């Protein structure tokens, strides 16, 4: 069973709205075991919508079309489907009543436009789930095959679309496909090696998986979130697919375990908080060029307050001296990074002080080029430091400094002096 | 000239990444006066990529394909284009040198995989702009017409894609299309009124523009960036289109000027910095629940250091007292917000102290519900405060607190006591 997605709306083509519906539907299809090889965006234009639907039906068994089911004149998904099916639109008295009741219960006035939403291409049935005023459509399209091709129309409003997908479309699709298998993914979060370096390290394993077909590996470069390595497997039961993922994870960890910092929903900040919590350590931060980015990532994690004490952002060099008690030395230096970490620990009353200082750019500072960054760390008075030279613009220097500093702390907590940051 | 967009990547179909590239490209095409009627997503599969490219070329004059130009085995956009063109891939010595030099300057080791990025379909030229290791491609495809059809390949990494689009693809497309009319947009940045409220206020003006056809107005709800009001106009010359935008901007400002904080690339933080700079005032921040988000937005603006002194993030309540010298009172209170602002001014040596304290959630704190936020402000000792009650989740409470606090400061600087925050 192959199912495409067609998202309808001129505003999608113009970039006024990002099409997140197709992404969500694609994910649901994958998890439901249904292949989806093409997704198309098309504007509110009858001929082009018909063309997009015809193209999709010509190469797939089913198509989910999202959007264009509203009450206004440019909502013409119903018309496009009728044209593809070669039938007329018929007003459904059942749907008229359903829509009328919905308006009544909300105390809103129904306009004649809303009755357009009760029009169905002849021979189709409405989606049994209808949380809003837009009915979804389930349409069998006879193309001469043993079984009909399918068009499912769902609204463009995300919460209505999702309820109709889960309650109506996916069960119907799976029933028609006779699907019983389970597909799952697991993500290994990495930091410290390039995408091509990871691919080369895992090359033999990728070839092996290609040959056996038990699972697939994909890489996902995600900026200052690092590079994600995703393993996906398919099996008859939930337990079986978990088993495949467990054993594949173990194989991958043997090869690149030194740069894996977490799994699935873990983030660098969540794992650092967990490592600190396990050791009963509290954290204070002094961040200069990142200006609050590290602390804001830490505090994005609910429940961080048992570990995170607070931070000082001594953006002006004077404040490094006056608030954190450092010596009156250049800001971009190893000694400053270490004294900032010590100061953060002392002033913020923390066991661990983490500090960054350097040049975000765009212009040099104190004779140092943009991208020059010192990390300082003090764990109960034991200090450590690192120098990094980022070849990036201001935003990315700041972002990569955040995850590098947190990774540096994580590696020191784990006792690995030699791992990459 | 019609140009489609094809986004390549199995992870896009699986919903692991939302395809924001196509949206951005669609917006740029619209602003460049080039029609784009279809956008397609396809996985990393040679046959299906070829099919998507062929379908696009069959109905349009050009196609921009984004993604699949990386160094790994599943990056096969080069191969797909070669197949569509019916030519071989040829390794470009010029590109090999360019990529080698790039790795050299960053002190990183180049793997053999990276050399794949130097392969070009025979007869194509590389995009003149190449910010990363992935060269873009400009490919003429002979389909028997008077002029060749075009395929432009750009990387999937957004910042590389954008630079190649602006510097290479759009000028080439416009040149081939013989486009001489100028389309420009201007964005009015607003904060403090809902989208439907803005639409209602501007209703008569939108009707007037519909009738005269000189310009269009669009609304773009953008989370903690506020709601953008975009005016787009088309004219024969640059000067003419600027004139239309200027007079339309003046009309709109008369209607909703009280909630417009900036234009185009302005952000709330950049305009606040400008207002402070004009008055010769420096800024210090004490932020608790936002944990560094306000300071990180401020410091994202290059050149902020003449105004921004620094910040303290007293996440633990003890630090409010010990570092910023507040009284030993509950954290979520008006007095605490004001004392934090005073403390930030004093400890950070600033003219203006801005503070936020409250409950981000997900659980209540000190008996207050998530979303309860106090803003405190001290301008040379003159204090002010505001209470907000956000009906949002943790992330959005933190985000909306940032822009609300900055907007509060801006309004006080402008002397408007009554404007919405």
- Token pair 């690092």 is found at A226
User: Same structural domain for residues A91 and A163?
Assistant: yes
User: E strands along B274-351, which residues?
Assistant: 283-287, 308-313
Residues in chain A with CB shorter than 8 Å from the CB of B55 are 55
Residue A387: other Cβ atoms inside 10 A: 13
How many folded domains does chain A comprise?
Answer: 3
Return d(Cα B123, Cα B87) in angstroms, integer: 8
Which candidate from A26, A302, A393 shows the least CB-CB separation from B14? A26
**B114, B90, B270: which is closest to A199 by C-alpha?**
B114
- Picking from B142, B157, B177, the residue at the C-terminal end of a domain is B177
Does the complex come out with an ipTM higher than 0.85? Answer: no
User: Same structural domain for residues B144 and B198?
Assistant: no
Residues in chain B with CB shorter than 8 Å from the CB of A398 are 296, 299-300
Residue A199 sits at the chain B interface (C-beta within 8 Å)? yes
Q: What is the pLDDT of residue A148?
A: 96
Return d(Cα A405, Cα B297) in angstroms, integer: 19
Range of the domain at A213: 182-263
Residues in chain B with CB shorter than 8 Å from the CB of A20 are 18
Q: pLDDT tens for chain B, 421 residues: list them.
A: 999 999 999 989 988 889 999 999 999 998 888 999 999 999 999 999 999 999 999 999 999 999 999 988 889 999 999 999 999 999 999 999 988 888 877 677 778 888 899 999 999 999 999 998 899 999 999 999 999 999 999 999 999 999 999 999 999 999 999 887 788 889 999 999 988 889 899 999 999 998 998 898 888 778 899 988 989 898 889 899 999 999 999 999 999 999 999 999 999 999 999 999 999 999 999 999 999 999 999 999 999 999 999 999 999 999 999 999 999 999 999 999 999 999 999 999 999 999 999 999 999 999 999 999 999 999 998 999 999 999 888 999 999 999 999 999 999 999 854 444 4
Model confidence at A412, pLDDT cuts 50, 70, 90, reads very high
Return d(Cα B421, Cα B414) in angstroms, integer: 12
Assigned domain for B421 exists: no
Q: Is A220 exposed, middle or buried (0-12, 13-18, 19+ CB in 10 A)?
A: middle
Assigned domain for A204 exists: yes
If you compute the radius of gyration of chain B from its CA atoms, what whole number of angstroms results?
26
Mean pLDDT value across residues A399-408: 97
| SS3 state at B22 | helix
Q: Using alpha carbons only, give the angle A148, A152, A157 rounded to the nearest 5 degrees.
A: 175
- Distance to chain A for B418, nearest Cα, Å: 31
- Picking from B159, B177, B195, the residue at the C-terminal end of a domain is B177
Model confidence at A182, pLDDT cuts 50, 70, 90, reads confident
Whole-number average pLDDT of chain A = 93
Mean pLDDT value across residues A57-74: 92
**Do B349 and B284 meet the contact criterion of CB atoms below 8 Å apart?**
yes
- CATH number of the domain within which A290 lies: 3.90.950.20
**Do A373 and A304 meet the contact criterion of CB atoms below 8 Å apart?**
no
Query: Is the model's pLDDT at A421 over the cut of 70?
Result: no
Q: In chain A, helix, strand, coil percent, each to 5?
A: 45, 25, 35
- DSSP-derived letter for residue A32 is T
Query: Is the model's pLDDT at A108 over the cut of 80?
Result: no
Assigned domain for A420 exists: no
- CATH number of the domain within which A69 lies: 3.40.980.10
Which candidate from B37, B316, B360 shows the least CB-CB separation from A42? B37
Residues in chain A with CB shorter than 8 Å from the CB of B298 are 291
Return d(Cα B183, Cα A304) in angstroms, integer: 49
Model confidence at A416, pLDDT cuts 50, 70, 90, reads low
**A387, A329, A331, A397: which is closest to A362 by C-alpha?**
A397
User: Same structural domain for residues B308 and B389?
Assistant: yes
- CATH number of the domain within which B251 lies: 3.30.70.2860
Residue A345 phi/psi, 5° resolution?
-60, -45
User: Same structural domain for residues A153 and A186?
Assistant: no
User: Same structural domain for residues B155 and B196?
Assistant: no
Return d(Cα B36, Cα B49) in angstroms, integer: 19
| SS3 state at A6 | strand
Assigned domain for B366 exists: yes
Contact across the interface for B312 and A299, Cβ inside 8 Å: no
Q: What is the largest CA-CA distance in chain B?
A: 81
Model confidence at A23, pLDDT cuts 50, 70, 90, reads very high
User: Same structural domain for residues B255 and B295?
Assistant: no
**Do A61 and A101 meet the contact criterion of CB atoms below 8 Å apart?**
no
User: Same structural domain for residues A194 and A334?
Assistant: no
Assigned domain for A319 exists: yes
Sorted by sequence, the CB contacts under 8 Å of residue B261 that are 6+ apart come out as B189, B190, B191, B226, B268, B271, B407, B410
The model's pTM is 0.79
Q: What is the pLDDT of residue B416?
A: 55
Assigned domain for A333 exists: yes
- Distance to chain B for A105, nearest Cα, Å: 23
Residue B188 phi/psi, 5° resolution?
-95, 120
Residue A167: other Cβ atoms inside 10 A: 16
Contact across the interface for B106 and A40, Cβ inside 8 Å: no
**Do B322 and A331 meet the contact criterion of CB atoms below 8 Å apart?**
no
User: Same structural domain for residues B280 and B378?
Assistant: yes
- Token pair 């989910």 is found at A64
**Do B283 and B309 meet the contact criterion of CB atoms below 8 Å apart?**
yes
Count interface pairs A-B at CB distance under 8 A: 249
User: Same structural domain for residues B333 and B400?
Assistant: yes
User: Same structural domain for residues B328 and B409?
Assistant: yes
If you compute the radius of gyration of chain A from its CA atoms, what whole number of angstroms results?
28
Residue B362 sits at the chain A interface (C-beta within 8 Å)? yes
For chain A positions 273-292, those within 8 Å of chain B (CB to CB) are: 285, 287, 289-292
Query: Is the model's pLDDT at A388 over the cut of 90?
Result: yes
User: E strands along A244-394, which residues?
Assistant: 260-263, 283-287, 308-313, 352-358, 372-379, 382-389
Assigned domain for A190 exists: yes
Assigned domain for B419 exists: no
Q: Is A203 exposed, middle or buried (0-12, 13-18, 19+ CB in 10 A)?
A: middle
Structure tokens that stand for B265 in this block: 């690339």
Sheet holding B372-379, edge to edge: A382-389, A372-379, A352-358, A283-287, A308-313, B308-313, B283-287, B352-358, B372-379, B382-389
Contact across the interface for B312 and A316, Cβ inside 8 Å: no
Cβ burial B71-109 (10 Å sphere, 16+ → b, else e): bbebbbbbbbbbbbbebebeebeebbebbeebeeeeeee
Read off the pLDDT of residues A193-237 as tens digits, 9 standing for 90 and up.
998 899 999 999 999 998 998 898 988 878 899 999 989 898 888
Residues in chain B with CB shorter than 8 Å from the CB of A290 are 296, 299
Three-state SS across B384-401?
A: EEEEEECCCCHHHHHHHH
CA distances from A395 to A167, A388, B99 (A): 43, 16, 23
Contact across the interface for A299 and B315, Cβ inside 8 Å: yes
Return d(Cα A360, Cα A288) in angstroms, integer: 10
Return d(Cα B161, Cα B129) in angstroms, integer: 10
DSSP characters over A99-131: HHHHHHHTT-PPPHHHHGGGEEETT-EE-S--S
Q: In chain B, helix, strand, coil percent, each to 5?
A: 45, 25, 35
Name the pairing type of β-strands A3-8 and A38-42.
parallel
Contact across the interface for A218 and B59, Cβ inside 8 Å: no
Return d(Cα A366, Cα B32) in angstroms, integer: 42
- Picking from B263, B292, B321, the residue at the C-terminal end of a domain is B263
Structure tokens that stand for A313 in this block: 């952002």
Residue A259 sits at the chain B interface (C-beta within 8 Å)? no
User: Same structural domain for residues B235 and B334?
Assistant: no
State how far Cα B361 lies from the chain centre: 27
- Token pair 């219960």 is found at A105
Q: Is A175 exposed, middle or buried (0-12, 13-18, 19+ CB in 10 A)?
A: exposed
User: Same structural domain for residues A35 and A145?
Assistant: yes
């Amino acid at each position: 069973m192959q199912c495409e997605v067609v998202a309808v709306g001129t505003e999608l083509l113009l970039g006024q709205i990002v099409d997140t519906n197709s992404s969500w539907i694609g994910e649901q299809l994958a998890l439901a075991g249904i292949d989806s090889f093409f997704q198309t965006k098309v504007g509110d234009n009858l001929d082009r919508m018909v063309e997009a639907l015809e193209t999709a039906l010509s190469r797939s068994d089913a198509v989910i079309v999202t959007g264009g089911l509203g009450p206004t004149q440019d909502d013409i998904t119903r018309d496009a489907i009728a044209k593809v099916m070669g039938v007329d639109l018929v007003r459904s008295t059942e749907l008229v009543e359903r829509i009328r009741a919905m308006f009544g219960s909300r105390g809103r006035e129904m306009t004649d436009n809303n009755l357009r939403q009760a029009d169905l291409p002849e021979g189709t049935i409405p989606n049994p789930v209808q949380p809003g005023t837009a009915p979804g459509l389930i349409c069998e399209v006879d193309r001469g095959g043993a079984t009909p091709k399918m068009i499912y129309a769902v609204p463009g409003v995300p919460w209505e679309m999702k309820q109709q997908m889960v309650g109506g479309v996916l069960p119907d699709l799976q029933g028609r496909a006779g699907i019983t298998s389970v597909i799952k993914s697991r993500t290994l979060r990495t930091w410290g090696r390039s995408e091509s370096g990871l691919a080369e390290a895992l090359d033999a394993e990728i070839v092996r998986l290609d040959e056996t077909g038990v699972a697939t590996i994909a890489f996902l470069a995600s900026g200052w979130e690092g590079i994600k390595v995703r393993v996906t497997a398919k099996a008859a039961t939930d337990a079986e697919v978990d088993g495949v993922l467990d054993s594949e994870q173990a194989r991958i960890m043997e090869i690149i375990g030194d740069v894996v910092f977490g799994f699935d929903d873990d983030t660098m900040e969540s794992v650092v908080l967990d490592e600190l919590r396990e050791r009963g350590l509290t954290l204070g931060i002094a961040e200069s060029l990142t200006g609050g980015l590290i602390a804001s990532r830490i505090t994005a994690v609910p429940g961080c307050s048992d570990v995170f004490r607070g931070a000082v952002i001594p953006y002006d060099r004077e404040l490094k001296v006056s608030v954190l008690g450092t010596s009156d030395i250049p800001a971009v230096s190893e000694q400053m990074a270490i004294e900032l970490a010590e100061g953060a620990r002392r002033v913020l009353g923390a066991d661990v002080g983490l500090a960054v200082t350097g040049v975000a750019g765009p212009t040099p500072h104190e004779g140092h080029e943009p991208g020059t960054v010192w990390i300082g760390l003090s764990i109960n008075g034991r200090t450590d430091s690192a120098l990094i030279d980022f070849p990036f613009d201001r935003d990315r220097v700041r972002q990569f400094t955040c995850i590098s500093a947190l990774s540096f702390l994580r590696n020191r907590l784990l006792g690995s002096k030699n791992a990459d940051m």
